[in-house]
Structure 1
Amino acid sequence: MDVYQRIQIPDNFPQVSFCIVNLNARDYLRACLERLPLAASQITWEAIVVDNGSTDGSPEMLETEFPWVCLIRNQTNLGYTRPMNQALRKAKGEYLVQLNPDTLPEEGAFNRMYHFMQANPQIGICGPKVFNRDGTLQRQCRRSAARPWDVITYFSGLYKIFPNSPFFGRYLLTYLPEDEIAEVEAVSGSCMMIRRAVIEQIGYLDEQFFAYQEDSDFCFRARQAGWKVVYYPEAVVIHYGGLGGSRTNPYRGIIEWHRSYLRYYRKHLARDYCFLVNGIMYVGTGVRLGISLFRAFFTREKVVGTKKP
């Protein structure tokens, strides 16, 4: 398939499919679904929720309060990537939105994203401006491909000392204005709109990633295939973060995050660097895993992955 080719969608199919994976996030999921009619008021859409064996009454809440949601029930926790692929395969829309259950899209957010992508056929993946619960920018919503120097400057804190420097601030692109549309290397899987033509060309999410880094991997593959990945701040979503599946078993979440980064690094980046750099990345990731587990043991707030500054 040629890049930028439009997929012919039957007239009775929705323009956008919202795909959500849920694990014990009932109240946040309810709030998210209640907001969708306002966020997508000018387009036709459907919502697909894959539940990963929740025990908090999420499936029953969906069946009672949101009978229009397509519910897929898994009996156990299958992680994130595999259930998200279940939803993506079920989806019928021209655009497919990966959406976390602990997100709140602002009014008209998906209207704007849809029309922006319709007007720019070279864009394969679009991510909105994502706020933390306190109203600050969740910087992971636009980032680099996490090459070694970018990761080192992030975890060493150098990006905080030199936030306006492209040399030190590349991972979170801190030198870019928050309200400027920008082509980036990756956006956050907490909310990203994908053109169906991208999936038709490069396939679904890579299920070797149990959870985490599947969004970075997908963005990397899309860019390799010639598509643009764009940060679009005219659409805004609040992401509470860490209130979905990772909260259920934070220690496993911490391990899976580091495992997934190593898999992502080996798959896409290791070939570009010598054995010494690769060794530093592998050892550094292992050390950081140990530190993260140690901190989690002694703190009430278990942080999975990178903090949401």
Structure 2
Amino acid sequence: MSTAGPAHVRVVCVVFNPGAELKDFAVSLQGASRLPVELVLVDNGTDDTVTRAVAEAHGARVLTPGANLGYGSGANAGAEGADAPWLVVANSDLVWGPGSLDDLLEAAERHPRAGSLGPALLNPDGTVYPSARELPSLTQGAGHALFARVWPSNPWTRAYQQRQQVAGAERAAGWLSGACLLLRREAFEQVGGFDSSYFMFFEDLDLGERLGQAGWENLYVPSARVTHVGGTSWRERPARMISAHHASAALYLRRRYHRWYQWPVRAVGQVGLKAREHLELRAAR
């Protein structure tokens, strides 16, 4: 990791009792950019032993809030006071491809209205995760929520995710996965960062929507490649993940359809989310 001169990018990594994946993240980050990079580790967990060992080995700074702030609020805390023009918010269970951060930065220079940029997120088997998505319409959102688990190829999920067989071409998206985001600090600060109301999940969708409303672009940059191992902090706590996901989905639904005459949408959506949460919790036992 380059530390010569003022940091051009601050990388904020929010962790919760991490394991060996955090070392892999920090090691791979060293080859992701030729520019000075500052790494800030926000530890939301109860045991910061691994976090501090990785920080010492890689010249990172550790921020310990003293409580689990959640993902978005943790990222906001890690970004606070940054002087670098660019911020990265990333999960700890990522392995950066060589030069991948530079690829994102070069795309950002070509697109001055890009407020957020996301790489191609690869699954461990090399397949492409659909990380660049459109904002969900009411029918797409409902169809995806109801059928994604039992009918993965349903038309609503396909339209919502724009599922890629390959990484595809550089393009604008409605929103980008918060697993790995390059953010123009000016844009991030203009919209007030992540909405702290979302503890986990949907904070990236909400941010992308607000950036778009403010006139910024969310840009998918598939020339940048990052491998996402996925879910290492939650593997032993699937019930908490499921409940957190549905709570955030319900919050997004209430805010997206907040007008008085949209109460039937809110009511039906809440019932559907509660039913799906119950089924997923039963399956996770």
With normalisation by structure 1, the TM-score equals 0.83
Q: Which runs of 5+ in 2 are unaligned?
A: none
- Name the SS for the 2:31 alignment partner: helix
Q: Check if 1:121 corresponds to 2:106.
A: no
Deviation at 1:280, TM superposition (A): 2.4
Q: 1:270-309, aligned counterparts within 5 Å? A: 270-271=258-259, 274-297=262-285
Contact 2:250 2:270 in 1 (8 A): yes
**Is contact 1:131–1:239 with CA below 8 Å preserved after alignment?**
yes
Q: What is the rounded CA distance, in whole Å, between the counterparts of 2:195 and 2:157 in structure 1? A: 30
- Give the aligned partner of residue 173 of structure 2: 184
Structure 1 residue aligned with 2:60 = 69
Identity across the alignment (%) = 27
Q: Is the 8 A contact 1:108 1:235 kept in 2?
A: yes
Match of 1:28 in 2: 21
| Distance (Å, rounded) in 2 between the aligned partners of 1:274 and 1:232 | 36
- Tell me, yes or no, if structure 1 residue 222 matches structure 2 residue 211: yes
One-letter identity of the residue aligned with 1:51: D
Counterparts of 1:273 and 1:111, CA distance in 2: 47
Quote the residue 2:38 is aligned against. 46
Structure 1 position 189, deviation (Å): 0.3
Q: Deviations over 1:139-198 (max 9, x none)?
A: 2x1112233222233341466155xxxx76221013796321121101100001110111
Q: TM-score, normalised by structure 2?
A: 0.90
2:13–2:42 contact (8 Å) kept in structure 1? yes
The one of 244, 249, 252 equivalent to 1:256 is 244
The residue identity in structure 1 corresponding to 2:206 is: D
Note the aligned Cα RMSD (angstroms).
2.3
Conserved 8 A contact 1:153-1:159: no
Determine if contact 1:26/1:57 at 8 Å carries over to the other structure.
no
Q: Does 1:143 align with 2:133?
A: yes
Partner of 1:306: none
* Match of residue 152 from structure 1: 142
Contact in 1 for aligned 2:129/2:163 (Cα 8 Å): no
- Superposition pairs of residues 189-228 of structure 1, within 5 angstroms: 189-228=178-217
Specify which of 31, 43, 57 is matched with residue 49 of structure 2: 57
Q: Alignment partner for residue 82 of structure 2, among 81, 91, 94?
A: 91
Structure 1 residue 63: Cα displacement: 4.4
Three-state SS of the structure 2 residue aligned to 1:247 is: coil
Asked if the contact 1:105–1:238 (Cα under 8 Å) also holds between the matched residues in 2, the reply is yes
Q: Which amino acid aligns with 1:258?
A: H
The question of whether the paired residues in 2 share the 8 Å contact of 1:50 and 1:73 is answered with yes
Q: Which runs of 5+ in 1 are unaligned?
A: 1-11, 298-309
Q: Deviation string for 1:21-60 (max 9, x for gaps)?
A: 11122311110000111111x2221111011134372233
With over 3 angstroms needed to count, the CA separation of the structure-2 counterparts of 1:110 and 1:270, relative to structure 1, is same
SS at match of 2:161: coil
Cα drift, residue 61 of structure 1: 1.5
Aligned residue-pair number: 279
- Native 8 Å contact 1:22 1:50 kept in 2: yes
What aligned pairs does 1:10-25 form with structure 2 within 5 A after superposition?
13-25=6-18
Name the CA shift for 1:86/1:153 in 2 (closer, same or farther; >3 Å): same
- The offset of 1:73, in angstroms, is 1.8
Q: d(CA) in 1 for partners of 2:202 and 2:13?
A: 17
Counterpart CA distance in 1 for 2:282 and 2:268 is: 21
CA distance in 2, matches of 1:118, 1:238: 24
In 2, the alpha carbon distance for the partners of 1:294 and 1:263 equals 22
Q: What amino acid is aligned across from residue 39 of structure 1 in structure 2?
A: A
Match of 1:110 in 2: 101
* CA pair 111-87 structure 1, distance change in 2 beyond 3 A: same
Secondary structure of the residue aligned to 1:169 is: helix
The alpha carbon displacement at 1:254 in A equals 1.4
Taking a change above 3 Å as real, the CA distance of residues 104 and 273 of structure 1, as seen in their structure-2 partners, is farther
Q: Please give the per-residue CA displacement for 1:79-105, whole angstroms capped at 9, x wherever unaligned.
A: 222211110114332111111000011
